[in-house]
Amino acid sequence: MDLQSIKNRFGIIGNSPALNHALSIAVQVANTDLSVLINGESGVGKEVFSQIIHALSARKHNPFIAVNCGAIPEGTIDSELFGHEKGSFTGALDNRKGYFETVNGGTIFLDEIGEMPLGTQARLLRVLEAGEYIRVGSSKVQKTDVRVIAATNKDLLEYTQVGKFREDLYYRLNTVPIRVPALRDRKEDIPLLFRKFVADFSDKYKAPAVQLDDDARNTLINYSWPGNVRELKNIAEQISVLSQNKNVTASELKSFLPEHNYSRLPVLSGGNGNVSQSEFANEREILYKLFFDMKKDVNELKKMFFDLLQNPSIAGTHAGVPVYKDDLKEYPSNGNVLPAANPGQPVILHHGPADDIHHHEDVEESLSIMDKEKELIIKALKKHKGKRKDASLDLGISERTLYRKLKEYDIEE
C-alpha cells in the first residue's frame, strides 16, 4: 500500500519529508510483532500512527485499545492493565479482567508511557519479555499475546538517568522508534491542514469558508504551534465561527493566536549538566536535588579542612581566604573548629595532633530519588514504631500508597 492511500484512509494531510519518513517506518514495521515506541510532542497525532500499525498488521481483526497511562491513578493502573481478584483491595467487589487479558491477540497502545509508575513498569517488562502477568491479589501466572505500542512526549532516555524510567524497559520498548515531527518542523503542511479544517467547519456550521491573505498565511506558517495539529484545528474552528470577515488579515489572525512566551525555563543544573527543570515532576524532587547538591558542597568543604589539618604546611590562601600556619593552635579540649577572637583576624583552625587523623574518605551521596524515598519511609516507620497510619500522615501520602511502597521497595516492618 503506497503512502498516499494510507494518508487518505487515515485522514493524514501533509507531504513533508519528516512525516513521510515516519509513515514509511510505521508501514514497514506493521506486519511484525516488534514493540514500537512513538516519540513526539503533544498534539502531533501519535495515536493515529498506532492505529495504522494495527490496521496493517496480522492482528487487524483482533481488538485494539488505547490507554492513557497519565490519566489512570497510580493506585489503580495495575488493576486496569492486569486485572484483580475479588477482595484484593478495598472496593474490589468482584474479579476483574485487565486490558492485557481482554485484548489478548490484539494490540494495546500505551500513551504517555513516561507517566507509568516504576512498579507497573516492572510488570510491563515481564509481559514484554515472557508474555506473562499476574492479577492484583493473585499468585497465578497467566499468559497473554498482546503487541505493545507505546508513545511519549518526554525524553525517556533522560528519564532513565534520573531514575524515573527503567532503562531495561526503555530499550525493550524502543525496538523500533518512530519520531512524529512537530508542526513547526513541517511548515509546508500548515496551509494544507488549515484549509482542510476550515472546509470541514464550513460544512459543519453551514457557513462560507474563511480565506487568508498573504500576510495572514505567512503569520500562520511562522507561528510556533506549541499545541501542534490539535491547536491548529482549534484555531481554525474559532476563526470559522467568530470571524466577521471571511477574508482574514494578519492582524485579525493574531487576535486568535495566544501570546505565548516560548523561552525555555533556566536549567536546574544536575550532575550531568543536561537535566532541565521540566524533568522534575514535583517540588519534592526539586528539594531532593538541591539537598544533594548542598551535601556535595559540604563534603568538599570538609575535605578541604581535613587536608589543611593533616598538612599545615599547605596553609596559605585557600579559595581566597587567608589561613596562617602560626595561627594553627592545639587545644586539649575536643578539637572543635573555633572562630577568631577578633572579627578582623583570620579564622583560627585547631585540632589535635595530626597523627590523630588516621583516615578520611569522601563518601559519594546517592542521587537516586527511589533510594531517598525508601530511606524516608523507613525513618517514618521507625519514628512511629511501625504504625502505618501515623507514618503515612507524616510522609504526606495515603496509607494505601504507603502499603504499595512497602511492597515495591521490599521493606520489612
Residue 328, pLDDT > 70, answer no
What is the pLDDT at residue 230? 94
At 277-288, the pLDDT tens digits run 443 444 555 555
Q: Based on the domain organization, do 79 and 162 belong to the same domain? A: yes
- Of residues 363, 314, 310, 321, the one with CA closest to residue 345: 321
Q: Based on the domain organization, do 31 and 172 belong to the same domain? A: yes
What is the pLDDT at residue 408? 80
Integer Cα distance of 288 and 120 in angstroms: 23
Residue 332, pLDDT > 50, answer no
What is the pLDDT at residue 184? 94
Q: Based on the domain organization, do 67 and 148 belong to the same domain? A: yes
Q: What is the mean pLDDT of residues 367-390?
A: 81
Integer Cα distance of 289 and 273 in angstroms: 13
CATH number of domain containing 381: 1.10.10
- Phi/psi-derived region of residue 241, left when phi > 0, alpha when psi is between -120 and 50, beta in every other case: alpha
What is the pLDDT at residue 265? 35
Phi, psi (degrees; rounded to nearest 5) at 273: 75, 5
Integer Cα distance of 147 and 104 in angstroms: 9
Residue 268, pLDDT > 50, answer no
CB 220 within 8 A of CB 212: yes
Q: Based on the domain organization, do 251 and 305 belong to the same domain? A: no
Q: Specify the number of domains making up the chain.
A: 4
Q: Is residue 362 part of a domain?
A: no
What is the pLDDT at residue 344? 47
What is the pLDDT at residue 287? 57
- Centroid of chain to Cα 2: 35
Q: Based on the domain organization, do 162 and 295 belong to the same domain? A: no
At 169-199, the pLDDT tens digits run 999 999 999 999 999 999 999 999 999 999 9
At 190-229, the pLDDT tens digits run 999 999 999 999 999 998 999 999 999 999 999 999 999 9
Q: Which of residues 274 and 185 earns the better pLDDT score?
A: 185
Q: Based on the domain organization, do 395 and 348 belong to the same domain? A: no
When mean pLDDT is compared over 102-116, 265-279, 341-355, the highest value belongs to 102-116
Range of the domain at 330: 284-356
Unique residue bearing C-alpha cell 490496521: 55
CB 6 within 8 A of CB 12: yes
The one-letter amino acid code at 177 reads P
Q: Is residue 326 part of a domain?
A: yes
Q: Is residue 266 part of a domain?
A: no
CATH number of domain containing 96: 3.40.50.300
Q: What b-and-e string marks burial along 242-270, b requiring 16 or more CB atoms within 10 Å of the CB?
A: ebeeeebeeebbeeeeeeeeeeeeeeeeb
Give the DSSP letter string of 187-241: GGGHHHHHHHHHHHHHHHHT-PPPEE-HHHHHHHHHS--TTHHHHHHHHHHHHHH
